[in-house]
Structure formats: structure tokens, C-alpha cells
Amino acid sequence: MTKLCTAVAAMSVLMSTGALAQKLTAGQYFGTTQYTALDDPSGICASSAGLAVGQVTNSISTILGFGLGNASTIANPGSASAPTGYGVQWINCAFPTFPAASAFSKQKDGSYTDSPTAPQVTTCSAENGVTYTLTSSNGSSGGLTQTDTITIIPPLKGSKSTSFKLTSGNTAVAVGGTVLCYLSTDALYSRSGK
């Protein structure tokens, strides 16, 4: 009986993983990110980088697949209403390895989610020469609670498009190892199917 239960459980995971793999194809995704909160006691991120709640950035991201790499180019940092809009034209970022399909849990609405337990470090280099890191987790940093969730969104019926969301709370923004502020974001990445 135990062997049967184990086999059924393993088959269930394989079927779930196979179904999930169809919901995230490798390739280029168009991303839109909104800054939802900013903890910036010194004001340095607002004054020097032009970060502000409500800003929206667009990017093109290259996703290699589950358990593989993820890189992005932010094409228009900031927004027209921002005081400086970072003062740069582009930012290239290398994200942590995308989680393996087996790390995701299926939700009632048909989506799949993962909240990584290990800190996720993204390294970015801006056109103005500044390099910085973004560190998120499902823990805490600087006395603030951090959250980090990846959601694979099921395609609409009949659609071959694939989409996923990255939602993070209190991501540490650091330059040269010094944390300057904490930024919360909500990002949606989509790729049209053929």
C-alpha cells in the first residue's frame, strides 16, 4: 500500500510539473513593474536615484526556463513625472536562477506560486556606470519584513501566451554593499504564443 501511495504521489508531481512547464515557455518577455512602496529614511533613493511610489518601468526579459537563468534590460527607467527618472536610459539586470518547476504549488485559481526561502539577489548595472544589488527574501532585513513571491499565471482559454508575476516587499537596494533603501514592487511579464 505504501509503495502504491508513493507511486501515486510521484505521478501526481510529474503530471503537475508537466502541466506547469507548458505555462512558462523560454524566450523573451515584456515586463511592466510598478513601485508600490519605498522605505527611504535618508531620502537618498528618492533624491539621487529618483525612485518614487507609483513609478512604472518597462523591460524586456530573457527567461531560459525553470531552474535556469533570467536576465532583463529595463528600457525606460522611471517615469516622466519622476524628478530624475534615475537619469539613465537603460539598466541591465541579472536575476537569480528561476525556480525549478517542482518548487511551485498549484493554487485553486489554476496559477502556480513559489515563495523562495533563500535570499534572491539581483545584480544590476545602469547606463551611468552605477552597479547595485536588489536582495529580496521571505524573511527580514534591517528590521523590516521581506516578502518575495513568483506566480505563474494560467493562460486564457485558447491562448498560447504565457505570463508570470514577481511581487516583492521591502527589497534591499544596495550600492557597494551598503543598503540605501527598501523598495517594494509588483511586476508582470508576458510573452505572446505562436
Residue 60 has which C-alpha cell? 524586456
Q: How far apart are the C-alpha atoms of 147 and 167, rounded to whole Å?
A: 8
Determine the Cα–Cα distance for residues 134 and 31; give it in Å rounded to an integer: 17
Domain ranges of the chain: 2-191
Q: Tens digit of pLDDT for each residue in 88-145?
A: 678 899 999 999 999 999 999 999 999 999 999 999 998 878 899 999 999 999 999 9
What do you get for the CA distance between the two ends of the chain, in Å?
45
Task: Give the residue from 63, 57, 105, 55 showing the smallest Cα distance to 83.
Answer: 55
Higher-pLDDT residue of 174, 17: 174
Contacts of 88 (CB under 8 A, 6+ apart): 77, 126, 127, 128, 130
Higher pLDDT, 119 or 82: 119
pLDDT tens digit sequence for 21-60? 667 888 999 999 999 999 999 999 988 878 889 988 889 9
Q: How confident is the model at residue 78 (pLDDT cuts 50, 70, 90)?
A: low
Average pLDDT of the residues in 152-168: 89
> For residues 25 and 46, what is the distance between their CA atoms, to the nearest angstrom?
36
Q: The whole model's pTM is what?
A: 0.83
What is the per-residue pLDDT for 158?
80
Contact 35, 185 (CB under 8 A): yes
The owner of cell 509503495 is: 3
Q: How confident is the model at residue 19 (pLDDT cuts 50, 70, 90)?
A: low
Q: Is the pLDDT of residue 194 over 70?
A: no
> What is the C-alpha to C-alpha distance for residues 77 and 89, in angstroms, rounded to an integer?
7
* Residue from 114, 110, 104, 92 nearest 166 by CA: 114
119: its cell numbers: 535570499
